Structure 1
Amino acid sequence: MTRSVIAPTPDSPASQAVGLDLDGTLTQPGPWLGGRIGLPQPGAIDALRTLARCRAVFVYTARASVWLPEIADWVTWYSGLEAFVDPSPGRAYYTAVGGPILVTNTKLGAAAYVDDRAIHHAGDWTDTLDAVSRAIGLDHVGVLAAA
């Protein structure tokens, strides 16, 4: 496996950020209905602090905007780092390297995403479709045959 390092460059604002999913990634898995936010996963807060020292970090979630202030408070409470709710609904990138943690329900451009529901795509759609099919409980061959 080849590893590449995406250096932050001014001509590529997406290269400066790391996006961290909230539910099931930063937090322990569990229901979040009614705005409940779980406890941090072991190691998650240390990882967030480490990343925030060298990259712009944003926490993204599928939750509605009404819950974002509570999430920003949660990030600040557990990490000790300043966090704020994204005031720009049209934002495409977050580039405040070493700055406060952005909380958003938009998946912004980034050098990397950390998400418990992600499937890595390495350029081969056959492998990717196999992984997605397994993740959602489908028989890949049956899906392709029906298409």
Structure 2
Amino acid sequence: MQTLADLLNTIPAIDPAAMSRAQRHIDGLLKPVGSLGRLEALAIQLAGMPGLNGIPHVGKKAVLVMCADHGVWEEGVAISPKEVTAIQAENMTRGTTGVCVLAAQAGANVYVIDVGIDTAEPIPGLSTCVLLEVVAILLQLRQ
């Protein structure tokens, strides 16, 4: 009879070089370092697993990213000023953000939707569904 210890001994060791490459790649993406939290650590662990080839087939996939400001910077609850929203939305249309890299790895299309980015400049490649005006009215009602 095979014991758990015997079974565990058959698992190959992780590949530290692959994990290091994954860490450098993730840190080089256009996003704040560590901003994907546990997902970053999981991606690095997966990169270190030898023989990880069994990826299940899933049909057509998509990631919808809704971008907006909604006045939260002024409320003091956002970590970045509102100008970062437009910059990151544009970066997403170029495929250079963490979510875009993860989506590409999964074979998913990324659709970036402006639901209230507070910018005067149009951002090419965005779908638009502006909610900013509605939020401004709600903030006025609250006063």
TM-score range, shorter chain: under 0.3
With the length of structure 1 as denominator, give the TM-score of the two structures.
0.25
- The structure number with the bigger radius of gyration is 2
With the length of structure 2 as denominator, give the TM-score of the two structures.
0.26
RCO comparison, higher one (Cα < 8 Å, 6+):
1
